[in-house]
C-alpha cells in the first residue's frame, strides 16, 4: 500500500492512525507533505515497513501530544526539529531502525510523560537533560547502546516515574539514589554499574549478577523448564530447574544459586492477573520429555535468559518450543500467528520464527533448535524478541509475543569449574579409587613436585617482572580501558597475532588508543609482556610507536599504545587499505624505518635488537609517518660483545637473517637484514613470498638479485607507480640488497 492512497487526509482531522498490525504494510518514506497537517494531536505510524529518514517536517506538527513510529524501518537520527513538539506527551520510537545520539532539542519536551525508544542503535551518553523532564512517568530505553553515568541523573525530581527500563546498555557509575518509592517497575539488567553504591535500599536482589561483566559464580551449564514450578530430570539426565516466578510488566528474576536469570518486557492488556506463564495438559507430539512442555514462559515483547558466571568457551544452546497458546481448531484461536526473532549473544539466529510453522502447521508439537556460541566474558544472553510480526489481539493484545518451553546450555569442552557445591563421591567408590590409584600416585608425586617447583619459580619471576613495571609506564584502570573499547567489543578489533588481539579505543579525554591484550593461550606469556613494556618504555623516538601505559592486575595484561589511523604497512602495500602510496611517500617511509632502527641500534641509552622487523610491525600515522611497533621479542645487547646467543630463534620466516636462523647468533644485523626485505616489499608493493606468481618471482629477494645481476634492478618496482625517481629507486634497491 502506497502513501498516495492516504494523501486525501483532511487538514482538519485531529487524529490520524496508520498503525498496521496485519500484512498490508505501508512502505517507503514518509512524504514531506505530512508537515502540513498542523491540526493533528495524535499520529500513529508504527507497525509498518516505512523506510528512509524521518522527515524534519514532523517538527511542524506543534499540536501533537502523541507520536508513534515504533517497529518501522527508518534510518538515520531523530531530527532535531522534533524538539519543537513542546506539547508532546507520548513518544514511541522503539525498534524504528534509528541511530546516532538523542537530539539536544529534546530538552524542550517538558510535557513528555512517556518516552519509549528501545531497540535502536543510538550512540553516545544518556542525555544530561533527562533529569529535567520531570513529568516522565515511563522511561524505556532498553537495548539502545547508550552509555554514561546513570548515577549523575537526579531522579529525585521524577515524582511520577513508575516505569524505568534501561537494561542492555553500557551504563556505568552508581545507581541513582533519588528513585521515587512509587517506581514499581525497574529493570536495569546487563549494564556496567558500580554496585553497592545506592543508599535508598530499593536495589532489587540479583541485579549485581545481571551486570555484563560481573560474574557472580563460576558455572559451566544450566537448564530451565520455563514456567514450571518444579525441577524435572530429562531423559538425557539433564536437570531442568523450575522457572515459576511470575514476572511483571518489566522485571527480572535471578536464581538463588545465581546460575541464570530471566528478564521480561511488555504488558498483556485486559489480562486479570497479567500472567506470563501458559499452562497446558495436552499431549505434546515428538517429545520424549512431555513434562517439559506442560508450561511455557511468554512475553508480549522481549524475553531474555542470561547465563551467569559461565566458564569461558564454546557452548551448545538448545531451545525447545511447542505452541500452547493457539490450539489447532476451527475456533477464533486458530487464527493466531506467533512470530518472533531469536538472538544468541546478540547474533540473529532466526528471523520471523514461527513455532507452529516449524512444526508443520501443528500446535502441541515439539520444535527444537540447537546453536553453538562463544562465552568470552562469563555471560550468556538468549534473546527472544517480538519485532511486530504476526497477529494483534488474539485472544488479547500482547498474547502474540515469544514463547519458550525449555532451554539448556552445555559446554563443548571439559570444564575446570563445578556447578554449585563441590561433588562428593560415595564412601565405597572412594575406597575402591584409593586402592587403584595409590601406586600411581606414589610414582608421579616426585615428578609433580619438581614440575610444580619449576612452575612456581617461573611464575614468581614473571609476577616480579610485572610488579617492577608499575614504576615505569602509566598504569591504567581496567574499567576505563573496558569503557574505552566498548567492553572489548569484537567490532573494535583492529589486529590479531600470536600475542593476542588489539582493540581500538577512545579514552574519556578523547585520545584514541590501541589496546593490546595478552591472550591466556599465548605461548609468549607474561615474559614477553614484560619485555615489551620494559623495552618501549625505555626509548622514545618519532619513528617508534608511543606507549601510553599498561594494565597488569589480570591473567590477561593490557598494553595501551597510541592509535595510528592508517594501520600497518603491509595493509597499505598489499592489503585492502586504499592509501595513495606514491614514490615520495614510500621513500619517506623507508627512511623513517631506517631512522627508527638507527636510534635503537646506536643512539638510545640502551642498545636494542627488535628481532621482528616486518611490514606488519610498521604502523602509519595520519601523515603516513612510519612507526616501528611490537617489541615483545626485543633483546638488549652489549655492543662490546660480538653477538648474543639465543636458545630459541624468534622472528618471522622471510625476514630472518641466515646467520641468526642457522646459528642463533643475534646482532643488530638481524634487524638490518629484515629492513632490507621490508624495503624491497615497499618498492615492489608485494610481500616477500607470493606463491600465486610464476616460479621465478615467488621469492622477492631471489627475484630482485636475479634482476640486479641482469642490470634490470628497476624491474621489481611496483607497476602501480607510474611516476617515480629512477635514481632514488635504484639507490634504495642497492641499499636493500646490501642489507640482505
State the binding site for ATP: 516
- Compute φ and ψ for 381, nearest 5 degrees: -125, 125
Instruction: Give the residue among 126, 169, 114, 125 at the shortest CA–CA distance from 144.
Output: 169
Catalytic residue from among 119, 138, 612, 630: 612
Phi and psi at 370, nearest 5°, equal -125, 135
User: Are 363 and 327 within 8 A, CB to CB?
Assistant: yes
Contact 118, 95 (CB under 8 A): yes
Identify the three-state secondary structure at position 408.
strand
Which of 421, 402, 429, 388 has the alpha carbon at shortest distance from 325? 402
CA separation, residue 9 to residues 6, 14, 16, 43 (Å): 6, 10, 8, 12
| Residue ranges with strand state E in 462-511 | 474-475, 493-496, 500-506
Give binding residues as ranges.
516
DSSP string, 490-502: GGGEEEE-SSEEE
- Give catalytic status of residue 236 as yes or no: no
- Integer Cα distance of 52 and 45 in angstroms: 14
In degrees, rounded to 5, the angle at the alpha carbon of residue 463 between the alpha carbons of residues 458 and 467 is 150
CB atoms within 10 A of CB 355: 25
Q: Is 429 left (phi over 0), alpha (psi -120 to 50) or beta?
A: alpha
**d(Cα 194, Cα 151) in Å, to the nearest integer?**
10
Cβ-based neighbours of 357, under 8 Å, separated by 6 or more: none
What is the distance between the alpha carbons of residues 484 and 441, in angstroms, rounded to a whole number? 49
Contacts of 101 (CB under 8 A, 6+ apart): 77, 122, 123, 124, 127
For residues 656 and 370, give the distance between their C-alpha atoms in angstroms, rounded to a whole number: 47
The DSSP code sequence of 108-174 is: G-TT--EEE--SSEE-SBPPGGGGG-TT-SEEE-TTS--EEEGGGS-GGG-TT--EEE--SSEEESP
Q: d(Cα 213, Cα 217) in Å, to the nearest integer?
A: 12
Active site residues: 612
Amino acid at each position: 500500500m502506497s502513501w498516495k492512497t492516504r494523501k486525501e487526509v483532511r487538514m482538519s482531522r485531529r487524529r490520524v492512525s496508520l498503525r498496521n498490525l496485519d500484512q498490508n504494510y505501508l512502505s517507503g518514506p514518509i512524504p514531506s507533505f505530512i508537515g502540513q497537517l498542523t491540526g493533528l494531536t495524535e499520529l500513529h505510524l508504527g507497525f509498518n515497513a516505512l523506510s528512509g529518514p524521518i522527515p524534519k517536517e514532523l517538527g511542524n506538527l506543534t499540536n501533537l501530544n502523541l507520536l508513534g513510529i515504533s517497529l518501522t524501518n527508518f534510518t538515520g537520527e531523530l531530527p532535531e526539529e522534533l524538539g519543537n513538539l513542546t506539547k508532546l506527551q507520548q513518544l514511541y520510537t522503539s525498534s524504528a531502525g534509528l541511530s546516532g545520539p538523542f537530539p539536544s532539542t529534546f530538552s524542550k519536551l517538558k510535557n513528555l510523560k512517556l518516552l519509549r525508544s528501545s531497540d535502536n542503535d543510538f550512540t553516545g551518553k544518556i542525555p544530561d537533560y533527562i533529569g529535567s523532564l520531570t513529568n516522565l512517568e515511563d522511561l524505556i530505553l532498553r537495548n539502545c547502546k547508550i552509555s554514561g553515568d546513570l548515577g549523575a541523573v537526579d531522579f529525585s525530581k521524577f515524582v511520577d516515574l513508575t516505569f524505568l527500563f534501561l537494561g542492555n546498555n553500557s551504563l556505568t557509575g552508581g545507581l541513582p539514589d533519588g528513585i521515587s518509592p512509587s517506581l514499581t517497575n525497574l529493570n536495569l539488567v546487563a549494564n556496567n554499574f558500580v554496585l553497592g553504591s545506592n543508599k535508598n535500599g530499593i536495589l532489587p536482589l540479583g541485579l549485581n549478577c545481571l551486570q555484563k561483566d560481573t560474574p557472580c559464580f563460576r558455572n559451566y551449564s544450566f537448564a530451565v523448564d520455563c514456567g514450571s514450578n518444579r525441577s524435572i530430570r530429562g531423559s538425557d539426565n539433564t536437570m531442568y530447574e523450575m522457572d515459576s516466578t511470575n514476572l511483571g510488566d518489566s522485571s527480572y528474576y535471578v536464581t538463588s544459586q545465581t546460575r541464570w536469570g530471566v528478564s521480561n518486557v511488555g504488558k498483556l492488556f485486559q489480562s486479570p492477573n497479567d500472567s506470563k506463564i501458559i499452562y497446558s495438559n495436552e499431549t505434546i507430539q515428538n517429545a520424549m520429555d512431555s513434562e517439559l512442555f506442560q508450561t511455557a514462559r511468554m512475553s508480549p515483547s522481549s524475553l531474555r535468559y542470561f547465563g551467569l558466571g559461565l566458564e569461558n568457551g564454546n557452548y551448545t544452546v538448545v531451545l525447545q518450543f511447542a505452541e500452547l497458546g493457539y490450539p489447532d481448531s476451527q475456533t477464533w484461536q486458530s487464527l493466531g500467528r506467533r512470530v518472533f526473532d531469536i538472538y544468541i549473544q546478540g547474533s540473529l539466529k532466526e528471523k520471523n520464527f514461527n513455532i507452529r510453522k516449524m512444526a508443520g502447521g501443528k500446535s502441541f508439537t515439539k520444535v527444537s533448535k540447537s546453536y553453538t556460541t562463544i562465552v568470552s566474558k562469563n555471560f550468556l544472553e538468549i534473546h527472544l524478541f517480538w519485532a511486530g510480526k504476526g497477529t494483534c489481539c488474539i485472544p488479547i493484545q500482547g498474547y502474540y509475543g515469544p514463547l519458550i518451553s525449555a532451554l539448556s546450555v552445555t559446554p563443548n569442552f571439559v570444564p575446570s569449574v563445578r556447578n554449585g557445591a563441590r561433588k562428593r563421591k560415595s564412601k565405597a567408590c572412594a575406597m575402591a579409587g584409593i586402592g587403584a590409584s595409590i601406586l600411581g600416585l606414589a610414582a608421579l608425586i616426585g615428578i609433580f613436585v619438581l614440575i610444580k617447583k619449576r612452575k612456581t619459580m617461573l611464575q614468581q619471576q614473571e609476577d616480579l617482572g610485572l610488579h617492577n613495571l608499575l614504576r615505569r609506564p602509566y598504569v591504567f584502570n581496567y574499567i576505563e580501558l573496558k569503557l574505552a573499547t566498548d567492553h572489548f567489543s569484537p567490532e573494535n578489533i583492529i589486529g590479531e597475532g600470536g600475542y593476542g588481539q588489539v582493540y581500538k579505543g577512545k579514552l574519556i579525554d578523547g585520545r584514541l588508543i590501541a589496546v593490546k591484550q595478552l591472550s591466556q593461550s599465548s605461548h609468549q606469556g607474561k615474559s614477553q609482556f614484560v619485555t615489551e613494556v620494559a623495552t618501549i618504555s625505555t626509548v622514545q623516538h618519532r619513528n617508534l610507536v608511543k606507549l601510553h601505559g599498561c594494565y597488569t592486575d589480570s591473567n590477561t595484561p593490557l598494553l595501551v599504545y597510541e592509535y595510528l589511523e592508517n594501520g600497518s604497512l603491509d595493509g597499505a602495500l598489499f592489503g585492502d587499505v586504499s592509501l595513495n602510496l606514491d614514490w615520495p611517500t614510500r621513500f619517506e617511509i623507508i627512511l623513517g624505518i631506517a631512522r627508527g632502527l638507527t636510534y635503537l641500534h646506536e643512539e638510545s641509552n640502551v642498545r636494542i635488537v627488535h628481532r621482528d622487523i616486518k611490514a606488519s610491525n610498521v604502523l602509519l600515522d595520519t601523515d603516513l609517518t612510519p612507526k616501528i611497533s611490537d617489541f615483545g621479542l626485543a633483546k638488549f645487547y652489549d655492543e662490546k660483545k660480538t653477538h648474543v646467543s639465543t636458545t630459541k630463534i624468534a622472528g618471522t620466516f622471510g625476514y630472518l637473517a641466515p646467520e641468526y636462523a642457522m646459528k642463533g647468533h643475534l646482532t643488530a644485523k638481524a634487524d638490518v637484514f629484515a629492513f632490507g626485505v621490508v624495503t624491497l616489499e615497499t618498492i615492489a608493493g608485494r610481500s616477500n613470498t607470493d606463491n600465486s606468481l610464476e616460479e621465478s618471482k615467488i621469492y622477492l629477494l631471489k627475484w630482485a638479485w636475479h634482476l640486479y645481476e641482469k642490470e634490470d634492478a628497476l624491474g621489481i618496482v611496483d607497476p602501480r607507480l607510474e611516476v617515480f625517481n629512477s635514481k632514488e629507486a635504484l639507490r634504495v634497491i642497492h641499499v636493500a640488497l646490501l642489507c640482505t
